Chain A
Amino acid sequence: MAVHTVSEVVTYVRGVLDRDDFLSDLYITGEISNLTRAPSGHCYFTIKDSESQLRCVMFRPAPGAEFLEQGVKVTAHGRISIYSVRGELQYVADLVQPEGVGELHMKFLQLKAKLEEEGLFDSSRKRPLPSYPKRIAVVTSRTGAVFHDIQTVLSRRYPLVELVLVHTLVQGDQAPGGIVSALKTVNQEPGIDVVVVARGGGSLEELWAFNDEAVARAIYASRVPVVSAVGHETDETIADYVADVRAPTPSAAAELVTPDRVELQRRILDLQAAAHGSLAERLRRHREEVRYAVTRLHFRAPDVAAHRQRVDELTRAATAAIGGAVMIVREQLRGKALQLATLNPSKTLARGYAVVERRADGGIVSRVAHAPPGEGLAIQVSDGRLTADVTRPGAPSRDGKRGRPRKTATAPEQVRLL
C-alpha cells in the first residue's frame, strides 16, 4: 500500500486538470457572488447557478474585469485548476463578458488580450508608410467592390504607381490560409512598398478571417508595411491592431498610402515660384548693387566742373596779374623815356655844350691829354661841325681830373670863361 503526502496528491490532481483539454479551455456562464477585489488588482469571486458554485480567481490584467459585479450574470473564459494551499478547486478566468455576448466576440477578446500581451500591437513597432510608393500590393478578393474602389482612388489621386493585386478569399474557412499565403507572396516579391489587406463591410462572422491568429501573425511578420482596411469604420479586427496603419475603409487606405496629385502639383508650383522668387530677388539685389556702385563711382570721380572753374579762376588771375605787370613795365618805360629825353645830346648841345672828336680817329676828346698840339679836331655844336686844330698843349684844370667837356680848341682862359 503506497502512502502519499497531501502535496503529492494535490500536485497530481493539478496535473490531471491541466492536461485535460476540456477543462483547460472552458467557457462558463453564471452569476457572480462573493466578489472581492484585492489591492493587487486580482479579483476573487464565486460563479454559481441554481445548483452549484465554483470558486474563481481572475489575475490582474484580464479583460472584462470591469464587468464583475455582485449578482451580475456573465460569461467567462478560463481553465479549471486547483489551489494547492487549500486543496480547493478553482476556475482561473482570463476573460469575463456580460452574459449573452457571442462566442466569436469572446474569442476575439481573448485573442486580442493574448496578442497584446505578446506585444504584437505595440505602437513602437509600427512602421511609417513610404511617401512615394511605386508598387502597392492589395490583398483582397478580385471580385467585389474593394479592389475597384482602390483602383479608382489611385487613378485619380496618384496614378504613378503599379497596383499589384494578390487575390485571396476574404471569408470562409479558406480565407485565413489565403490571406497568410497572399502576404507571403507579397513579401517574396521584390519592390513592393506597401501592402493593403482589405475587405468590404460585413458581419462579425464574415470578417472573421481578419481575427484569425495566423493572419495576425502573418501581418506582424510582414517585411512590407501593412495597412489594414477591413469592413466599415466601426468594425475592429485583430488585423487592424497588428497592422502598421489602420484605414477605416479600403478607399481610405488607398488615400493613406499615396500622396495627392493635386497637392503635389501645387507643391511643384510653389517650388517653381520659390525658385523664381529667389532668382528675381537676387537680380533685384544685384541691380541695386550696381546702382549703388554707380553712385559711388560718381561720388569718387574727379570733379571736372570744379577743376574747370578753378582753371577759369586761375586764368583770370593770371591775366590780371600779367596785365598789371605790363602796366608797371609801361610806366617804367615812360619814366625811362623821360629820363632819356633829358639825356638827349642834341639838347645838351643846344645848351652850349659841344662834342669834340679827333678828326683822325673819331675818338672823343674829353680830357686835355686826348688832344695834344697838332691834333685836328672836329667840334660838334648844336647846328653843325667846326674844324679846329690844337695849337698849344692844354693844361688840366685844377678843380678835378675830369673837366667838363670843353672845346679843345679853346684856351684855358676860354674854358674858365665858360
Chain B
Amino acid sequence: MYHKGVVAKDTEQEVDFEQALEKLEQTVQTLEAGGLTLAQATSLYEEGMRLAKTCGQRLDTAELKVTELQNAFLNQVEEREDVDE
C-alpha cells in the first residue's frame, strides 16, 4: 500500500482494519455489559480508545492499491478485438 510518509512509520498501520473494528465493537460491548472491576473497565476503555484511533487512522490515511492478474485466455487470443466503449 502507498502510505503518506509520516504515517507509514506507524506500526499500527498494518493492523487489519476489520479485526481492529471488530475488537473495538467487542470492547465497547463488554464495557457496556458491565460486571467488571473499575480497573478492568478503565483498561478496556483505554484499549477501546487505542483501537478507535487505529481504525480512524487506517480510514484517514489508506490509499487504494491497484494490481492486475493476467488472464491466461488473452495470451492465446491477441488483443486485437478490444473494443469496449
Name A279's contact: one of B16, B21, B31, B56 (CB within 8 Å): B31
Name A278's contact: one of B32, B63, B83 (CB within 8 Å): B32
Are B17 and A132 in contact, with the CB atoms below 8 A?
Answer: yes
Are A268 and B24 in contact, with the CB atoms below 8 A?
Answer: yes
Residue A65 CB within 8 A of the other chain: no
Bound-complex Cα distance A268 to B70 (A)? 38
Residue A143 CB within 8 A of the other chain: yes
Bound-complex Cα distance A180 to B63 (A)? 30
Are B52 and A163 in contact, with the CB atoms below 8 A?
Answer: no
Bound-complex Cα distance A200 to B84 (A)? 8
Bound-complex Cα distance A172 to B63 (A)? 35
Given contacts A275-B31, A275-B48, A278-B28, contact A160 B68 (CB under 8 A): no
Are A144 and B21 in contact, with the CB atoms below 8 A?
Answer: no
Name A265's contact: one of B32, B56, B71, B82 (CB within 8 Å): B56
Given contacts A143-B82, A200-B85, contact A164 B69 (CB under 8 A): yes
Name A161's contact: one of B65, B77, B82 (CB within 8 Å): B65
The residue of chain A having its C-beta at the shortest distance from the C-beta of B78 within the complex is A174
Are B73 and A177 in contact, with the CB atoms below 8 A?
Answer: yes
The residue of chain B having its C-beta at the shortest distance from the C-beta of A145 within the complex is B85
Are B62 and A279 in contact, with the CB atoms below 8 A?
Answer: no
Residue B59 CB within 8 A of the other chain: yes
Residues of A within 8 A of B18 (CB): 131-132, 134
Between B42, B81, B85, the greatest number of chain A beta carbons within 10 A of the residue's beta carbon is seen for B85
Name B73's contact: one of A144, A161, A181, A282 (CB within 8 Å): A181
Bound-complex Cα distance A143 to B79 (A)? 12
Are B42 and A279 in contact, with the CB atoms below 8 A?
Answer: yes
Are A168 and B25 in contact, with the CB atoms below 8 A?
Answer: no
Between A171, A186, A272, A276, the greatest number of chain B beta carbons within 10 A of the residue's beta carbon is seen for A272
Bound-complex Cα distance A137 to B17 (A)? 19
Given contacts A169-B81, A202-B85, contact A278 B69 (CB under 8 A): no
Main secondary structure of the interface of B (DSSP, over half): helix
Are B84 and A159 in contact, with the CB atoms below 8 A?
Answer: no
Chain A, 246-293, CB within 8 A of any chain B CB: 261, 264-265, 267-269, 271-272, 274-276, 278-279, 282, 286
Are B81 and A279 in contact, with the CB atoms below 8 A?
Answer: no
Per-residue CB proximity of A130-174 to B under 8 Å, as 1/0?
Answer: 011010010011111110000100110001111111111111111
Question: How many residue pairs between the two chains, A and B, have CB atoms under 8 Å in the bound complex?
Answer: 143
Residues of B within 8 A of A145 (CB): 85
Residues of A within 8 A of B41 (CB): 278-279, 282
Are A275 and B28 in contact, with the CB atoms below 8 A?
Answer: yes
Number of interface residues of A (CB under 8 A): 59
Given contacts A160-B59, A174-B77, A200-B85, contact A271 B68 (CB under 8 A): no
Chain A, 171-202, CB within 8 A of any chain B CB: 171-174, 177-178, 180-182, 184-186, 189, 199-202
Residues of B within 8 A of A155 (CB): 63-64
The residue of chain B having its C-beta at the shortest distance from the C-beta of A139 within the complex is B71
Residue B49 CB within 8 A of the other chain: yes
Residue B74 CB within 8 A of the other chain: yes
Residues of B within 8 A of A200 (CB): 84-85
Bound-complex Cα distance A165 to B55 (A)? 27
Name B71's contact: one of A162, A173, A185, A201 (CB within 8 Å): A185
Bound-complex Cα distance A185 to B56 (A)? 34
The residue of chain A having its C-beta at the shortest distance from the C-beta of B27 within the complex is A275
Residues of B within 8 A of A144 (CB): 84-85
Are A271 and B28 in contact, with the CB atoms below 8 A?
Answer: yes
The residue of chain A having its C-beta at the shortest distance from the C-beta of B17 within the complex is A160
Chain A, 92-150, CB within 8 A of any chain B CB: 131-132, 134, 137, 140-146
Residues of B within 8 A of A168 (CB): 71, 73-74
The residue of chain A having its C-beta at the shortest distance from the C-beta of B24 within the complex is A271
Name A160's contact: one of B62, B66, B69, B83 (CB within 8 Å): B62
Given contacts A166-B68, A169-B82, A271-B24, contact A182 B73 (CB under 8 A): yes
Of the A-B pairs whose beta carbons lie under 8 Å apart in the complex, a sample of 28, sorted by A's number, is: A132-B17, A132-B21, A143-B82, A159-B62, A160-B17, A160-B62, A162-B66, A162-B67, A164-B67, A167-B68, A168-B73, A169-B74, A170-B84, A172-B83, A174-B77, A174-B81, A177-B77, A180-B73, A181-B73, A199-B84, A264-B59, A272-B52, A274-B32, A275-B27, A278-B41, A279-B31, A279-B42, A282-B34
> Known contacts A160-B59, A272-B52, A275-B52; can you find 20 more A-B pairs with CB under 8 A?
A134-B18, A137-B69, A141-B82, A159-B63, A163-B65, A163-B66, A165-B67, A168-B73, A169-B84, A171-B84, A172-B81, A174-B81, A181-B73, A185-B69, A185-B71, A206-B85, A268-B52, A276-B45, A278-B28, A279-B31
